Amino acid sequence: MNIVDRFLKYVSFHTTSDENTNMTPSTPGQMEFAQYLADELKQIGMTEVSLDRNGYIMATLPANEEGHPVVGFIAHMDTAPDASGKNVQPRIVKAYDGKDIVLNEAENIILETAKYPEILHYQGQDIIVTNGKTLLGADDKAGIAEIVTAIEYLIEHPEIKHGKIRVGFTPDEEIGQGADHFDVQAFGCDFAYTMDGGAVGELEYENFNAAGCKIHIHGTNVHPGSAYHKMVNSMRIGYQLAVMLPRWETPEHTQGYEGFYHLIGMSGTVEETTLSYIIRDHDRARFESRKREMEHLVRKVNREYGEGTAEIEIRDQYYNMREKIEPVMHIIDLAKEAMLAVGVEPKVKPIRGGTDGARLSFEGLPCPNIFAGGENFHSRYEYLPIPSLEAAMKVILEIVKK
């Protein structure tokens, strides 16, 4: 199967993850997809194919030449809950002409070049887009398609000499749980790469330190006609707390190495309100300071409204992998050389996010991140230039050769 057809098949699986189910994988569609992938890996000729009860896949392509390190390639099966991943209907825009792309004429959903000027870099290329109602799923089904296609090519071309190669596919990366049950020792690699970056050329070994934060606020409901000095409106307290955070330290006002507080969910009634945040910063000290600030605001609310009015839960999700990659920078040099060999200019940049590789690096598996090729991830405006998809697959082959 060619790489485009493989990718289009993969996005037909509904694999949106859900942090509220307390299951692994968090949604049944991920296990359905995992079973399909495990069967496919066996069919193309991989060995030691395993699928555990948590939805983690591992497989081996044995070495055909001795003396090489064991290298791994990893991608995740879930898609982000930020946009619907159900009933994805991709289409290919042939030889993109540089104009706005009408994704859905009936609902007037348009991929506008004024809002997304990066797409102009791909004029003349075939581009896979959505119908404007869902995300596409290139994050990270493009990565899976690249890995599987590269392995299939190596199996079909035994004249290409290589060491042992391991493949790993994980669930629930998008909700920060992708490495929760990943057995690094069983994977058995000297180093690995996640194929989970964005635009062509991206190579990343710095990422955010990340935490999830939930604030629960308890109020008191009384009939509004007799509420004087009795009602405590938890929603108003939640709003008050939210606006105490620095206005400009949000995703829409930060870039590069700048961190942020991001309100990702708010629900409530007069009696009970929950605020859900993610906290991000590349610098570990500033990251810890941000967590302390959230705790300070909760204490401030409790001083004003009474102890126990607000409760906070903070859970670290992953840390900046840079400190684990710097001692083995030859694996970054290897990826750069592989990109240059296939005509791709490496773009080393910090990830304003995280990957499974960040946590795996702290568990003893150095694991930087290579581009998967898509743009506008987590959005109905997501798209994937086909040459970028093909280039990432070629980079995998070059890493193996080198």
Question: Which residues carry out catalysis?
Answer: 78, 173
| Cross-strand bridge partners of residue 109 | 104
Instruction: State the pLDDT at residue 351.
Output: 87
Q: Where are the domains of the chain?
A: 3-207+320-401, 209-317
DSSP code per residue over 84-98:
--SS---EEETT--S
pLDDT per residue as tens digits for the range 139-173: 999 999 999 999 999 999 999 999 999 999 999 99
pLDDT per residue as tens digits for the range 15-65: 999 989 999 999 999 999 999 999 999 999 999 999 999 999 999 999 999
User: For the domain with range 3-207+320-401, which CATH number is right: 3.20.20.140, 3.20.20.70, 3.40.630.10, 3.40.605.10?
Assistant: 3.40.630.10
Q: Rounded to an integer, what is the distance from CA 163 to the centroid of its chain? A: 28
Q: Report the DSSP pairing between strands 369-371 and 202-204.
A: antiparallel
pTM score? 0.86
* Residue partners of 307: CB distance under 8 A and separation at least 6: none
Instruction: State the pLDDT at residue 260.
Output: 98
pLDDT per residue as tens digits for the range 241-250: 999 999 999 9
* Residue partners of 171: CB distance under 8 A and separation at least 6: 17, 24, 25, 26, 30, 31, 34, 54, 55, 56, 76, 77, 78, 177, 178
pLDDT per residue as tens digits for the range 176-224: 889 999 999 999 999 999 999 999 999 999 999 999 999 999 999 999 9
| Cross-strand bridge partners of residue 316 | 211
**Which CATH code is given to the segment(s) 209-317?**
3.30.70.360
Place of tokens 């955070």: 245
